């Protein structure tokens, strides 16, 4: 099983220069062969394969442009492979005629986001947990924040620089994931707006509050940025500030979702939720923002793959199943509950009193178990 581990790295000044060179060379090689391909295409020639491009790079281009030899050779080969993939996608689009078939675009030097990929061979990529360092080709040991350990074979590393000028390395590892010991605990939950998640046992997990606060702050900063003069020093400073906050919000959200999905998978054998039709709900403009905050679809995606990894059962029930309208005690259906304003109610058939959301998640669990049986 391939799994990526992303760490922040802190290159020193020499390493930063080397990184900038590598980003630049990878971009150069990508654009160089894209140009070649476009010209060939216009002349009606057969497209050059990635192997031919790579051979040309190593046998001819590097002799002509010796500075290409100063950087990680895998970064350049992978740039060619990336181009090839973009090119294949382009041809697929031409064939199906579904989308506009635009040629792959040239990579701009004025981008704020850079990356290159290196391959693992002969221990050229290593992680030292004790010293908090990561070894990368042509960079040697780089300071890092190694907050997670892995147990497996390193396949590749993608080094990136964000718009906020922070550096990261994402290490792809081939791991053997052990299934978790079986448990007989089960969970059904409803995903909501005011609460992120409401469990069948009544437990409610609120949305992280600071997220929306930071998002308001971000909107304000973005307005300020728009007023700054183009290509001024202040604008660049502001741009980095905006990028930093943006990344912070994304990180916080991801962290919240990962922790919660891992906890649910750890603790339960059977997990049931609704299959949420995001596109249907998103039509409601007022709710759209809140929903993207809550990141329901990302959350259910995580549950799905983590359940597969760890030997759990995750069931999504039909979104038309009226989980909020049925009494979880006797099965009586109360259609008045179509009104979202009713937060709690008493069943006229059996007299049980229900919290709207908890009752719904109890029904979700029941329905999931029925499907499983
Ligand atoms: Zn009832």
Give this prediction's pTM.
Answer: 0.73
Mean pLDDT, residues 316-341 taken together: 91
Is position 23 within any domain?
A: yes
Residue 14 lies in a domain: yes
Q: Does 165 fall in a domain?
A: yes
Q: Residue 113: how many CA atoms within 13 Å on its side-chain side?
A: 4
Answer yes or no: is 252 within a domain.
no
Residues 6+ apart with CB under 8 A from 285: none
Q: Categorize the per-residue pLDDT at 323 as very low, low, confident or very high, splitting at 50, 70 and 90.
A: very high
Task: Give domain status of residue 210, yes or no.
Answer: no
CA of 148 to the centre of ligand 1 (A): 48
User: What's the pLDDT score for residue 78?
Assistant: 97
> 157 lies in a domain?
yes
Active-site position among 84, 190, 199, 367:
190
Residue of 72, 84, 199, 357 marked catalytic:
357
Residue 190: active-site member = yes
Residue 315 domain flag: no
Note the pLDDT tens digit of each residue in 261-320: 999 999 999 999 988 755 555 555 555 555 555 678 889 989 999 999 899 999 999 888
CB-based burial, 13-23: b 16+ in 10 Å, e otherwise: eebeebbebbb
Q: How many folded domains does the chain comprise?
A: 1
Give me the chain's average pLDDT, please.
90
Q: Residue 346 C-alpha to ligand 1 middle, in angstroms?
A: 8
274 is catalytic: yes
Q: If DSSP codes are grouped into helix, strand and coil, which group holds residue 354?
A: strand
The answer to the question of residue 304 being in a domain is no
Domain that holds residue 121: 2-175
The H or E element that residue 141 is part of is strand 140-145
pLDDT tens column, 89-143: 888 887 777 666 677 899 988 888 899 999 999 999 999 999 999 999 999 999 9
Mean pLDDT of 54-77: 96
pLDDT (0 to 100) of residue 288: 52
pLDDT given at position 215: 81
């Amino acid at each position: 099983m391939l799994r990526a581990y992303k760490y922040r790295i802190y290159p020193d000044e020499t390493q930063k220069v080397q990184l900038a060179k590598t980003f630049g060379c990878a971009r150069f090689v990508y654009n160089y062969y894209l140009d070649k391909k476009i010209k060939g295409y216009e002349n009606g020639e057969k497209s050059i394969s990635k192997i031919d491009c790579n051979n040309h790079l190593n046998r001819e281009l590097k002799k002509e442009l010796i500075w290409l030899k100063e950087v990680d050779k895998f970064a350049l080969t992978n740039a060619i492979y990336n181009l090839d993939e973009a090119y294949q996608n382009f041809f697929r689009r031409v064939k199906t005629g579904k989308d506009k078939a635009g040629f792959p675009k040239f990579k701009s030097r004025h981008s704020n986001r850079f990356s290159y990929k290196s391959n693992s061979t002969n221990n050229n990529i290593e992680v030292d947990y004790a010293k908090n360092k990561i070894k990368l080709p042509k960079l040697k040991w780089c300071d890092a924040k190694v907050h997670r350990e892995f147990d497996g074979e390193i396949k590749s590393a993608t080094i990136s620089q964000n718009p906020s000028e922070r550096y990261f390395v994402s290490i792809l590892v081939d791991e053997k994931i052990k299934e978790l010991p079986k448990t007989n605990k089960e969970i059904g939950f409803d995903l909501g707006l005011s609460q992120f998640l409401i469990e069948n046992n009544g437990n409610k997990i609120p949305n992280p509050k600071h997220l929306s606060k930071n998002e308001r702050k971000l909107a304000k900063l973005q307005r300020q940025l728009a007023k700054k003069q183009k290509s001024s020093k202040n604008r660049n400073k502001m741009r980095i500030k905006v990028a930093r906050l943006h990344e912070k919000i994304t990180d916080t959200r991801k962290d919240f979702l990962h922790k919660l999905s891992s906890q649910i998978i750890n603790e339960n054998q059977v997990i049931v939720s609704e299959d949420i039709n995001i596109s249907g709900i998103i039509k409601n403009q007022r709710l759209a923002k809140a929903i993207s905050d809550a990141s329901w679809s990302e959350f259910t995606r995580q549950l799905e793959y983590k359940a597969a990894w760890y030997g759990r059962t995750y069931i999504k029930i039909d979104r038309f199943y009226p989980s909020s309208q049925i009494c979880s005690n006797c099965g009586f259906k109360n259609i008045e509950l179509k009104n979202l304003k009713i937060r709690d109610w008493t069943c006229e058939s059996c007299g049980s009193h229900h919290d709207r959301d908890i009752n719904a998640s109890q029904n979700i669990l029941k329905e999931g178990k029925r499907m499983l049986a």
